Structure 1
């Protein structure tokens, strides 16, 4: 392990745990503003908490054994929580993140071959090419220009997604794609007061009206993309790329996926699939900018591996410092900060010490990567940015259900390997040529929308090395 990385004392910005329970009105205000500010000291120090929100029994699960019980061992007893579905289904409908039952199983089975580790490695060269093309905007900007890195990383990961899964075939319009994504998630990917009250779905959510236009724009983009590829397949199948889009369209039919399910899944990957990686990349560059020792170790590693001529498919394994910094950023700023489930039937969990958690039918179980990853029972100095936790020799000591950036169980993120490889390649290409430094205006604050986003953006100075 590189001893220099143990010296990091940087504590990235995050809400201070509450010491006094919030009132009912404060809960509503905080959930609407930023749910990350809701959690009190017990959420970061107790293995689990049983509480009630708006008449609903809720268990906040931080104990790794309890998490495994809910997400893996007895996963069939837990469905997606009602509030989560009220937020996400209007956007994604029957996409992979929100579908349940036979629809989810059918979609997951259909997409699994594209995201196997072996297949994902086949995208490495395209990831490098798109990252290098992205650098052209920095070349043209001149030296020391300040850019919003949160926006840049959204556009970079979109370019990679478009090229790898859709062979560049997404029929898009001129415009600010990153801003459209932010508008969609800001207005649509958040809890509305009526969701907390579990009001019927047909009652309009006023907080989401602003996002309906952007959502229609995205769905129209998806339909045009599908129609264009269908036409190509029907006209000359040999000319159609053998990519994710073609795979889905060829599964269309009575024994496969419906046209609507294909549309929903494409939208899921375009609108949300790249968003998680984009946020984690931006947070990584921000944290590394505060830790010169970490940055120097990454740069030495990047320079050595790239100079050796190693194929980018090897970079994930040959750049442990780059990967460790990305994984540590995902610990502090998990792209998906909460995993919500509702119990279908009565259940119970018995901890190794004999304590029993009774889980009644209808109970909501919150598995919170945000609190779990900062929990004092499972991490040393949990609020510090310390990539050495994830270097070889230390990474192996982290429990499987202690660190959940991609979830766990049957619904574990299908693109986890894809995302890790993409992130390491993108960081290596960016950091080989440039350094990213904070400015007096760089004052991000983590806010939970669909992902953990930096309120106010991430303005950073980009300077050639």
Structure 2
């Protein structure tokens, strides 16, 4: 008889059991798209639906996902709705560019984010995390409550600033989380005109207040680029050989245009750190609700620290820490949907011989949010069970049933960077401090550009080690 307690199930919308009206769908999408999906999205391998004269294919089958994202990726482009939401913010950044513009950007940036090169950032990630941990030092005298969601945004932004921009972004780092939150709240949500696929020139009332915020971000980018150009011209021997310098060195007809460089810098400054930040906050919350697993993480962290192992090796030496972060990515995927559209008619046949016709122009929704909670592919899919990602179990997980970083040609370029960053940050923070719940800790996941805890994530910080 299994006498172990049931694993913790963190908060998430319950699948709908009835078909909503058109008005309910619109209201739900505007409020929180995560609350829209019904039971079939969590139980069936694929579903075809229709809304506002737009046909949608919701895809959960790993084989079909592989076909769309890898085997026949050339037949699938970013869906129009996704472009209408993201392009006003990121324009031709790596996340939103298409065709030749995307290929040039990806090729230019790939060397910076190879696993080997990403390991070279470990020392900087460690020093920034240690400096950030000093802000929690008052907890040694008396525990205090802080918004972990905002704190993790600050931390990951400072890591990004130091590793990719040598600390030389033209903005005050403290308080940057609030600016990012405002940008995503105002610009990162679906507008009714997006659902109607109205042209870009039609005003989006929900985003009118976001134009000034976006303008400030673009001002930060312009000032950052101008200052680095000045240094390149006046002090070439003292210029950091970092991501920013690399982009400016390939500016021109054979590389990237000035506007493309600006768009990519904005993509990394505004969104590149945000996904890791959200997952870190959700991870600390879930771990606080799983004391036995937290103790296993702490033992692993303490042993690694005591051994004097180089931070570049922590990713491989802390499987429990990595597994907790990966499980947080499963339950709260920072990018909860991957939206494609079929360019031409297509068809896929399952190993069992079931045919799936894919109509030209159909919107294809591959949603990590439902895929990661799907009853066909996960045991106790709503539960926080990091052990499923420990080395002895990891190989049982199909590559295309777990998509926190996407897959195929457009897989997230910074996946290795993010995993290393997360393990180092968690190890530094959890070595010195405990993060516990408060009476006000009742997070609710909301989809904007990322999966955010509505209203923040207050947690109590106390000292672990003297």
- Say if 2:152 is the partner of 1:116: no
State the partner residue of 1:54: 52
State the partner residue of 1:180: 179
State the partner residue of 2:409: 410
User: Following superposition, which runs of at least 4 residues in structure 1 exceed 4 angstroms of deviation?
Assistant: none
1:279–1:453 contact (8 Å) kept in structure 2:
yes
Q: What secondary structure does 2:436 align onto? A: strand
Alpha-carbon distance, 1:246 to partner: 0.2
> If the length of structure 1 is used for normalisation, what is the TM-score?
0.98
Aligned partners of 1:346 and 1:322: how far apart in 2?
Answer: 44
- Say if 2:187 is the partner of 1:195: no
State the partner residue of 2:33: 35
State the partner residue of 1:66: 64
State the partner residue of 1:148: 147
Aligned partners of 1:244 and 1:370: how far apart in 2?
Answer: 31
State the partner residue of 2:253: 254
State the partner residue of 1:15: 13
Structure 1 segment 200-279 matched on structure 2, within 5 A: 200-279=199-278
Equivalent residue for 1:103, pick from 93, 101, 104: 101
Aligned partners of 1:437 and 1:175: how far apart in 2?
Answer: 24
Alpha-carbon distance, 1:135 to partner: 1.0
Aligned partners of 2:209 and 2:459: how far apart in 1?
Answer: 29
1:171–1:222 contact (8 Å) kept in structure 2:
yes
Aligned partners of 1:125 and 1:82: how far apart in 2?
Answer: 41
State the partner residue of 2:73: 75
2:154–2:174 contact (8 Å) kept in structure 1:
no
2:339–2:363 contact (8 Å) kept in structure 1:
yes
- Say if 2:378 is the partner of 1:375: no
Unaligned runs of 5+ in 2: none
The RMSD of aligned alpha carbons is 1.1
Q: What secondary structure does 2:460 align onto? A: strand
1:443–1:456 contact (8 Å) kept in structure 2:
no
Alpha-carbon distance, 1:177 to partner: 1.1
Aligned partners of 1:91 and 1:148: how far apart in 2?
Answer: 26
Structure 1 residues 297 and 8, CA gap change in structure 2 (3 angstroms) = farther
- Say if 2:309 is the partner of 1:310: yes
State the partner residue of 2:127: 129
Alpha-carbon distance, 1:143 to partner: 2.1
1:282–1:458 contact (8 Å) kept in structure 2:
yes
Q: What secondary structure does 1:159 align onto? A: helix
Q: What secondary structure does 1:27 align onto? A: helix
State the partner residue of 2:336: 337
Structure 1 residues 8 and 233, CA gap change in structure 2 (3 angstroms) = farther
Alpha-carbon distance, 1:214 to partner: 1.0
Aligned partners of 2:437 and 2:331: how far apart in 1?
Answer: 18
Alpha-carbon distance, 1:239 to partner: 0.6
Aligned partners of 1:412 and 1:8: how far apart in 2?
Answer: 34
Q: What secondary structure does 1:327 align onto? A: helix
Q: What secondary structure does 2:108 align onto? A: helix
State the partner residue of 2:298: 299
Aligned partners of 2:342 and 2:34: how far apart in 1?
Answer: 24
Q: What secondary structure does 1:171 align onto? A: coil
1:88–1:98 contact (8 Å) kept in structure 2:
yes
State the partner residue of 1:323: 322
Structure 1 segment 83-98 matched on structure 2, within 5 A: 83-98=81-96
- Say if 2:383 is the partner of 1:384: yes
2:432–2:463 contact (8 Å) kept in structure 1:
yes
Alpha-carbon distance, 1:173 to partner: 3.9
Q: What secondary structure does 2:93 align onto? A: coil
Alpha-carbon distance, 1:407 to partner: 0.1
> If the length of structure 2 is used for normalisation, what is the TM-score?
0.98
Aligned partners of 1:24 and 1:362: how far apart in 2?
Answer: 22
Aligned partners of 1:203 and 1:339: how far apart in 2?
Answer: 24
Alpha-carbon distance, 1:175 to partner: 6.4
Aligned partners of 2:405 and 2:463: how far apart in 1?
Answer: 33
Aligned partners of 2:361 and 2:196: how far apart in 1?
Answer: 15
Aligned partners of 1:174 and 1:298: how far apart in 2?
Answer: 30
Corresponding residue pairs, total: 461
Aligned partners of 1:174 and 1:422: how far apart in 2?
Answer: 18
1:172–1:221 contact (8 Å) kept in structure 2:
yes
- Say if 2:465 is the partner of 1:460: no
Aligned partners of 1:447 and 1:317: how far apart in 2?
Answer: 32
Unaligned runs of 5+ in 1: none
How far does the alpha carbon of each residue in 1:70-113 deviate from its partner, in whole angstroms, 9 at most, with x for none?
10000000000000000000000000000000000000000000
- Say if 2:127 is the partner of 1:161: no
Alpha-carbon distance, 1:360 to partner: 0.9
2:441–2:458 contact (8 Å) kept in structure 1:
yes
